[in-house]
Amino acid sequence: MRLLHTMLRVGDLDASIRFYTDVLGMELLRRKDFPDGRFTLAFLGYGDESANTVLELTHNWDTSTYNLGDAYGHIAIGVEDVYGACERIRSSGGKVVREPGPMKHGSTVLAFVEDPDGYKIELLSDG
């Protein structure tokens, strides 16, 4: 078994695709409309789905916002330099919601950014 994807429902698919590609550097792997079901799926990631876990964005055509709830946590992305990644994200129009620094009660350096729908993405040094 292996983890295939994580699905997020998004209100503005084009804005979300721009964020994940332009700000976080993912590649749009595939996108398909399902007119009978009134939804679109877009799959993004850092490599081919055959070898990498990817992100599935689901846009229900008749829904523009979602209540994120309090059970969802975050997506984590490994980066070489958390401080540098935050600067690149901020200069690309991304929103840093927890500045880079040590984890509370630990030494791991991390930061959090937020996508257009308010989903949190944790940045962790992968070194």
Q: Which residues are catalytic?
A: 122
Rounded distance, CA 11 to CA 70, Å? 18
The region, left, alpha or beta by phi > 0 then psi within -120 to 50, assigned to residue 23 is alpha
Distances (CA, A) of 121 to 36, 38, 56, 80, 114: 32, 28, 15, 15, 6
What does R_g of the chain's alpha carbons equal in angstroms? 15
Q: If DSSP codes are grouped into helix, strand and coil, which group holds residue 1?
A: coil
Q: Which of 41, 88, 86, 80 is closest to 60 using CA atoms?
A: 41
Structure-block tokens of residue 39: 């939804």
